[in-house]
Structure 1
């Protein structure tokens, strides 16, 4: 190498080294309130990584000033959250169209995600332990034991963003009985930090184990009925499921798989998948709860086109449905997990269907899907 080129190379290397030292010194000496402003402006997905930079940055996730700045930022679109076959918590970020993993190893016990609402997750652990956590800040609280031991309850999480509080509603029958007279409900209030037993008075109990929190109500769907819990008045009500009406629109010999309530931009929706006697999917429909004068009833709003339905059937192992499908509403999108780890998405406003990119972390998802709004300022 010529002498002039060597001198030029050395000068360039020295400049890079000086810039690196300057940048390191700059960030180290930057006032904390300015650093808070810079970090609070980062995409939410970046917040899951910068805690590994140093202990100071990790502790900043819980600082009052940082949380206040995050609370004032514009919310990103909600993410789709899935459970993996070994309990992993996996999410798809529609803002970047990328998959991420939420490590939940900061919890002392973890089996599955039971509910999600406004940045918080309800986690079921071993030995009936229940946790509520914010996976972004890794803050968590373990709830005290309930008064009644329950098997496979309906669980719903309701977050009050104004009061920075939450309620967990848990309802089930004794010993997994399906008799409505055996159904009881307990509500945990983060303000009082205690459980309260509620008089359920249900005439029917659905098989669904998940519930949707929306606008002060909790919705849980079964094949013949939809349970609606009024959080403020602590009362259960019931409405018919659209599945009751499928005898008119679908073949009488076909069966509708257990549906689920979703919410998209303030619209309550339900997915109804119909299968024949061989468990081959024959129809996928989306229903909307429409208000008509003084009453509300379900109306069919969308049906999966035949070419896309054929593609779904081809992706299923052996061509038939072997596991219960999972659904989740997310802003203007609804996702359907029907075939292993492939996620079918319906855009409500554009009335289009498409597939999410394959998840690189797992070969198939577990039996849960949620809409998750990543909110660093959500407190437990």
Structure 2
């Protein structure tokens, strides 16, 4: 695990500039004439309660503040006291070394350059995220190199390379306060020119002196075709999509077994994706039943506590869908789109368009986010992300190495 010098933590005027929409809630400006008069102990205590995005707006970071932010006592207190602030991380398809962070609360954008943190000798791409950490995977065929990064603290850690050669597997990441789990599934390279969905591997680390290296889990269900995208984690289980036909595959860590769930309306789904939804799992997909005279729509379902049935939560409003449909490229069917869920929010991006649509589940509200003003050539890839200065689980990889 490595760490950049904390003296290089930038202010919002450099590495973390924010773009705010004129119609979004007003952000409070930090009045230095007030802050400098506060007793140091009170000032430090206030910092403990600030959400991580608030540090983006600090215009001046003294050496004392920078050293405080990375002191063990501050990080421990910040974990306990700082409010959680679900956000969304967007990566341009043309440049995965740039991270654009959307704060749904303030509807502001922040730019976090990642190039200094990523390896230059192998191509990598974002694959998963959990609890303040981003997971990048090597794109070359063969055993995979996985890299965990905290873009705020600039902590970096490598996982041991997995033993099974794969092409473009699905990857799941679950990070807790004192443990982390990684699952790689599908796209086994059985020859230099052929892949087959045969197996999955799991890596687990916690605070015990010993650790679990990569180990093969139970075989994948027969006739599955796993999509090379992220997994969703909920209540000790990883979920991912299988295509042709559509199915939801479930890996149970406790029983070390795979199973599958039938998705709703699987004959008429387009671009189905799994999302984290509150404390559970949701499924988002375009629905097209032209011959049955049912209007095109994008719908949201929630997996019920029984783990086998789905309930429709909402569907995109007609005027919203018309704009989203155009962003997808129009045509006879709704084109591909990206989405990710975090808390009670789902973020959508369509095709090569950079417009972001947000669905607020508690309010059943669809709204467009302010445009991202950073370069977005080729469209965006979106992940749920929770900015955290302290991510103690990344230190477990030092114990596991």
> How do residues 254-293 of structure 1 correspond to structure 2 at under 5 angstroms?
256-274=269-287, 282-291=296-305
Residues 341/108 of structure 1: CA separation in 2 closer, same or farther (3 Å cut): closer
Largest Rg, 1 or 2: 1
1:200 corresponds to: 219
Match of 1:100 among 103, 110, 134: 110
1:172 corresponds to: 186
Please list the CA deviations of residues 87-146 of structure 1 after superposition, one character each: whole Å capped at 9, or x if unmatched: 121111012210112222342417321111111111224654321122221111111211
Contact 2:125-2:138 at 8 Å conserved across structures: yes
1:6 corresponds to: none
Please list the CA deviations of residues 205-251 of structure 1 after superposition, one character each: whole Å capped at 9, or x if unmatched: 3224210122221111224211112223332222112242xx4xxxx
Please list the CA deviations of residues 61-104 of structure 1 after superposition, one character each: whole Å capped at 9, or x if unmatched: 33211111111124233001111131121111012210112222
Moved more, 90-99 or 363-372: 363-372
- Give, in angstroms, the shift of residue 297 of structure 1: 0.7
> How do residues 197-236 of structure 1 correspond to structure 2 at under 5 angstroms?
197-203=216-222, 204-223=224-243, 224-236=246-258
Residues 124/36 of structure 1: CA separation in 2 closer, same or farther (3 Å cut): farther
For residues 111 and 42 of structure 2, the distance between their equivalents in structure 1, rounded to whole angstroms, comes to: 29
Unaligned runs of 5+ in 1: 1-19, 248-254
For residues 200 and 327 of structure 2, the distance between their equivalents in structure 1, rounded to whole angstroms, comes to: 40
Using structure 1 for the length normalisation, give the TM-score.
0.78
Match of 2:386 among 354, 364, 373: 373
Residue correspondences, number:
340
Contact 1:257-1:274 at 8 Å conserved across structures: yes
Residues 1:189 and 2:205 aligned together: yes
Contact 2:249-2:260 at 8 Å conserved across structures: yes
Contact 1:77-1:331 at 8 Å conserved across structures: no
Match of 2:362 among 323, 332, 349: 349
More helix by share: 1
Please list the CA deviations of residues 289-331 of structure 1 after superposition, one character each: whole Å capped at 9, or x if unmatched: 1246xx6312323222222222223334465779631111122
Contact 1:156-1:213 at 8 Å conserved across structures: yes
Contact 2:286-2:334 at 8 Å conserved across structures: no
Using structure 2 for the length normalisation, give the TM-score.
0.74
2:47 corresponds to: 39
For residues 174 and 339 of structure 2, the distance between their equivalents in structure 1, rounded to whole angstroms, comes to: 19
Contact 1:47-1:136 at 8 Å conserved across structures: no
For residues 350 and 49 of structure 1, the distance between their equivalents in structure 2, rounded to whole angstroms, comes to: 28
